[in-house]
Chains A and B, each alone.
Chain A
Amino acid sequence: MANTPTAETRAGWSLVSVPAVYVLLMLAAPLLLVFGLSFVGLQGGAKVALPLQEGQDLQFTLSNYAKLFCLSASESCSSTDVRMAQATTTAMLRSLFVAALVTLTTVVLAYPVAYYVSFHVAPSKKALWLFLITIPFWTSYVIRVALWRTILGYDGAVDATLGAVGIIDQPLNLLQYGTASIIITLSHAYAPFAVLPIFVSLEKVDHSLLEAGQDLGESRWTTFLRVTLPLSMAGVVAAVLIVFIPTVGDYVTPELIGGGKVPMIANFIETQMWKLRNQSMGAALAVSSMLIVGILALIFVLANRRFLGVRK
């Protein structure tokens, strides 16, 4: 049927047009709208709450972004603005700190698992192992996160176990350490995300290279460091990004585990967009946080580009 390039192109496009238009309307348009909203305001600095009322005219302004930088009081920054900017900055830094630690934990703990499944499991059993690793990820995120409350909380599983063994005589109630509990919970929730990309890149490693390394006098450990690890770095980079980006924007865990006392940036975006109906401010917050995460991700990819370029 589609033998000439034009006919083939037409066939491909007509099939993909419906999903493509869907993504355009439901993803591209909303993201562009948020970007636009972050640069507008109303006369007199009133908040922009959609839908607009009769007679409200949007004007171009940078004041939404300016408010985010109100770190000390001045003529353009009211004391409310300063408190809000400081709290937002704290939440953003906390989000980055939490996401960085979660990423480090998940990737370091996941690498040996991916290595074991790729190198030591019989090919016919690999699918079963991956299935076992991914099942918990497919069960309700809210339930898994909430259960950590019962594990970490007062007289929870951790307290009960340590108490029974005799390590502690008072309940620890780890839940009172908000940020630490959030890091533990998120590291658990995103664990399978880290295993899969590393596994995929390890599967592509040419085993004859490892034999060559050992024939040439390398030990197992140095072969791993000098051959296997560099060849699997593409998977590690993918794992880092796939864990880091969603955890920066996590909402459920700070709400359920931190009890709302240690908010992360997504909780602030939700407050502006939803609770306060201050949507242009929320948009500025969303755009700036995405920009920060985007820049960090880009730096990380560029820093590792020598590993990404060597693959055939």
Chain B
Amino acid sequence: MKKGLGLRSYTIFYLIVLYAPIIILPMFAFNNATTVAFPLQGFTTQWFSEMLANTNLRKALVNSLIVSLSSATLATVLGILAARSAVRYSWPGKGLVMGSIMVPLVLPEMIVAMSLLVLLLAMGIKLSLFTIILGHVLMCMPFAVAILTSAFQTLDKSLEEAALDLGENAWSTFRLIVLPLVMPGIMASFLITFTISIDEFIIANFLGGGEPVLSVFIFTAFRFPATVPPVLALGTMLVAFSIILLTIAEYFRRRGVAKAGGKDSGGFL
């Protein structure tokens, strides 16, 4: 397969370029120099200790955790309702409703953020962490619905019918049969939406009313050369954290596919 070999080397090269920034990030986070330039100057953990000592950063971290945990939980709960409804029942208007839920995927984020901002201002709602959560749930829901729809689709309907025939009611069937089988999908959805929320910048910046969160902290720090090295240390930890979460999410997704006895056909979406 000569043709396959060429394509293979191209794909590997493509992956290396794709990962280049993430590989360069820790190199400079541990680099003993105040400027971010090659050649590297030597190893140091100074930037990590400087970062951990920063009180603004700790505040931002706590805020980010509040926002991301709430957004991921709400988006996943709303996602379960929408995905279950779309997969299990047929009802008029399904295409329109499910399509609308997916719209934030194809709208530029600035449009979503600014329209929400205008609505909140018009209603006189004070901007806070809560308003960031409102926006993040909207942005995260399409991903939750996509993951959970495929989780519910792998579910064998005859299992539910069997439970009903054996005398369980609708709720206990859902709790005893459906929920355990889609649990890996729910975990995957939670982890993915958590990652999206903690990384999201535009809504966090404009709907936060000045409350610091991690992505805004990073954005601001990158504009001033003096604050760049500590923020590279922060970035290294965040990227490592994201990759760990995603790997766990992928594990749950695969386990879900295996549990339902399906064939693994691809990634999250």
Contacts and interface: CB of A to CB of B under 8 A. Distances in A.
Interface in B71-123: 78-79, 81-82, 84-86, 88-92, 94, 97, 100-101, 103-112, 114-119, 121-123
Given A9-B91, A23-B100, A140-B215, A116 B7 contact: yes
A151 B264 contact: no
Interface centre among B3, B17, B118, B239 (most CB of A within 10 A): B118
Given A116-B8, A274-B117, A246 B266 contact: no
Interface in B5-48: 7-8, 10-11, 14-15, 17-22, 24-25, 28, 35-39
Contacts of A160: 37-39
Interface residues of B, number: 95
Contact of A139 (B117, B201, B242): B242
Contacts of A273: 114, 117-118
Contacts of A286: 111, 114-115
B18 A266 contact: no
A15 B138 contact: no
Nearest to B98: A16
A141 B267 contact: no
B57 interface: no
A256 B106 contact: no
A26 to B, nearest CB: 5
Contact of B138 (A26, A199, A290): A26
A279 interface: yes
Contacts of A154: 37
B89 A15 contact: yes
Contact of B134 (A19, A26, A37, A126): A26
Nearest to B106: A245
Contact of A136 (B22, B106, B121): B22
A251 interface: yes
Nearest to A22: B78
Interface string A125-150: 01101111111101111111011111
Contacts of A251: 109-110, 202
Nearest to B124: A51
B218 interface: yes
20 contacts: A13-B85, A18-B81, A30-B118, A112-B7, A112-B10, A127-B250, A131-B250, A139-B22, A139-B238, A142-B199, A147-B24, A150-B37, A151-B20, A155-B38, A160-B39, A245-B107, A246-B109, A248-B108, A249-B111, A269-B111
Interface of B: 1, 3-4, 7-8, 10-11, 14-15, 17-22, 24-25, 28, 35-39, 78-79, 81-82, 84-86, 88-92, 94, 97, 100-101, 103-112, 114-119, 121-124, 134-135, 137-138, 141, 145, 164, 170, 192, 195-196, 198-199, 201-202, 206, 215, 218-219, 222-223, 235, 238-239, 242-243, 246, 250, 254, 263-269
Interface of A: 1-2, 8-9, 11-13, 15-16, 18-20, 22-24, 26-31, 33-34, 37, 50-52, 109, 112-113, 115-117, 120, 123-124, 126-127, 129-136, 138-144, 146-151, 153-157, 159-160, 188, 191-192, 196, 199-200, 203, 220, 241-242, 245-246, 248-252, 255-256, 266, 269-270, 273-274, 279, 282-283, 286, 290
Given A27-B100, A156-B38, 4 more contacts: A112-B11, A120-B1, A146-B235, A270-B110
